Amino acid sequence: MFVLISGCGPVSGEPATQQPEEKHFPIPRIPMLLSDPQDRMTYILLHYWDNINFHQRILSDKDEMLEQGFVDFLFIFRYVDASVLPTAVGNLVRQSVVTVNRVAPLMALASKYLYHPESPMLNEEHYRLFVEEMMKCGDRLDEGANERLRMELEMMNMNRVGTIAADFSYVSAEGEENTLHEVGAPLTLLLLYDPECEACEYLVFLMERSATLARCIGNCQLRLLAVAVEDAGVSMNDKVRIPEAWIEGQLVDRPVFEEGYALRALPALFLLDEDKRVLMKEVPFEIIEEYLKNI
């Protein structure tokens, strides 16, 4: 009988140093009685790691076969009901974190694919599952690891998708003080940037040339608010040039802003609905642009 357990259980024994020679990930065999495609995918996800002996292997980017297996595991997420995911992630954490030294490699791998701003698989809600399940490991976490996970969860709770974005004040290019929530539009695209940041300048360059974005701004479906969150203190010629069709602003009160925003990197993009509810958080522009093509 296979028992689904979330969180980490006690495991005895020391991991072996010798690594097995498997070249291909051992996918679990699906029972013949399961004929529905989604049921089959769910079974694979819940039993995905059953054939891996984590006393002999460490799930990390040092093990090419297991890393590819981890990527394929994440890929299956899109084909099953979201209610299954916490159990699937809990199973992985429980099975793989057999000793304290297994925590950091697994979280580094999860962060690499789900939390790094430039990852094509970026998904903060999926990464949250790993953080929450890892925090249930108790004696498998040292004080430093537990504190890091707690801080990451705190950051993810800020402006979580589906919640109302934290409001803040900015001064417009015309010298008027306004707030994010005062921007009136069916959609608001919030760009937070550093005036001296080359990556920010390049993103503005790409966005300015997006026909999809120009269409949404032109037909009043969307307003774009670009707020400099760093005070560069340089001449206008050296700053990132913001297009006239966008709203340009400079952050007013940084301490207040930081109470609601913990940015992993700049530039950062947030897509908000009419009520300033977060639809997308810190995702690449290409993902937002694809969404806008369908409105």
CB contact at 8 A, 25 and 34: no
What's the fold here for domain 169-292?
Glutaredoxin (3.40.30)
pLDDT tens-digit profile of 30-39?
A: 999 999 999 9
CB contact at 8 A, 58 and 105: yes
pLDDT tens-digit profile of 142-201?
A: 888 889 999 999 999 999 999 999 999 999 999 999 999 999 999 999 999 999 999 999
Mean pLDDT of 106-133: 94
Q: What is the pLDDT of residue 11?
A: 36
Q: What is the rounded (10 degree) CA torsion for 173, 175, 181, 187?
A: -20
Q: Which amino acid is at 82?
A: A
pLDDT tens-digit profile of 269-282?
A: 999 999 999 999 99
- What is the pTM assigned to this prediction? 0.83
Domain residue extents for the chain = 37-157, 169-292
More confident residue, 108 or 235: 108
